[in-house]
Amino acid sequence: MAISTADFKNGKAILIDGKPCVIIEFQHVKPGKGGAFVRTKIRDIRTGRVNDLTFRSGEKFEEVRLESKEMQFLYSDGDDLHFMDTSDYNQMALGAAAVGSAAQWLKENDMATLQYAGDELVGVEPPMFVELEVAETEPGFKGDTVQGGTKPATLETGAVVQVPMFINTGDVLKIDTRDGRYITRV
């Protein structure tokens, strides 16, 4: 199905030069002289690269249908991450490259959202917030509580986040997976 630049919405997927891309943001511009155009910020679904592109107003594009599927993360065997569809119990293994940075936020039995463009897997999204245990961090010392003081902490999945000085090894933390930010101690 072809869509026009007038149908652009944030989050809509389109084909540009045969590559599936998602519109991050767009702006219709009508200069005083010359034709109208649309300025966009577009993310390539396969590579994750963000580009700024400009199109003439009324230009047509092929729409890409994105589908999401909830799957349970089972385990990682080093090279592959194994997921299970909870509706029919089918299992599938995905390479670490296909999962990307989402792997650092997944622990066994967590639910993840797999996004497909047609039959092609284009991304894996972990839950927005996860609760992970601190595997290793430097001890905080009395007097180290200066405003805004942080230190690195390695979590049980191997991810490293900046945490306040009072966090110790063994604490369970709530983390925002969108930006890897510490939210609170659980």
70 and 102 housed in the same domain: yes
- Please tell me whether residues 113 and 72 are part of one structural domain: yes
- The reported pLDDT for the residue numbered 143 is 58
Same domain, 153 and 167: yes
- Do 59 and 93 share a structural domain? no
Whole domain around residue 101: which residue ranges? 66-125
Exposed/middle/buried for residue 132 (C-beta within 10 Å: 0-12, 13-18, 19+) = buried
pLDDT in tens, 10-50: 878 899 988 888 888 999 999 988 899 999 999 887 777 88
Least confident residue range of 44-48, 76-80, 167-171: 44-48
Return the CA Rg of the chain. 21
Can you give the pLDDT at residue 65?
86
Token digits for 122?
Answer: 């284009």
Indicate if 82 and 107 belong to the same structural domain.
yes
pLDDT tens string 110-164: 999 998 877 778 778 899 999 999 999 988 765 555 566 788 999 999 999 999 8
Distance CA 18, CA 58 (A): 19
Which candidate, 66, 124, 61, 47, places its Cα nearest to that of 93?
124
Residue 122 φ then ψ, to 5°:
-115, -10
Which residues, including other chains, have CB under 8 Å from residue 61's CB and lie 6 or more apart?
Answer: 2, 3, 4, 5, 14, 15, 16
Q: What is the CATH number of the domain that holds 142?
A: 2.40.50.140
Domain shared by 169 and 181, yes or no: yes
Output the CA–CA distances (angstroms, integers) from residue 38 to 25, 41, 93, 98, 148, in the order listed: 10, 10, 40, 32, 42
Domain identity same for 96 and 116? yes
- Quick one: pLDDT at residue 135? 93
Residues 159 and 175 in one domain: yes
* DSSP per-residue letters across 97-136: HHHGGGGGG--TT-EEEEEEETTEEEEEE--SEEEEEEEE
Note whether 58 and 79 are same-domain residues: no
Give the chain's domain count.
Answer: 3
Alpha carbon distances (Å) from 7 to 21, 31, 53, 105: 15, 20, 16, 35
CATH of the domain at 14: 2.30.30.30
- CA dist., res. 145 & res. 71, Å (int): 41
- Pick from 129, 7, 102: nearest CA to 48: 102
52 and 87 assigned to the same domain: no
Helix (H) or strand (E) holding 10: none
User: Could you say which of 30, 47, 63 is where a domain stops?
Assistant: 63
| Domain stop point among 104, 125, 146 | 125
Whether the model pTM is above 0.75: no
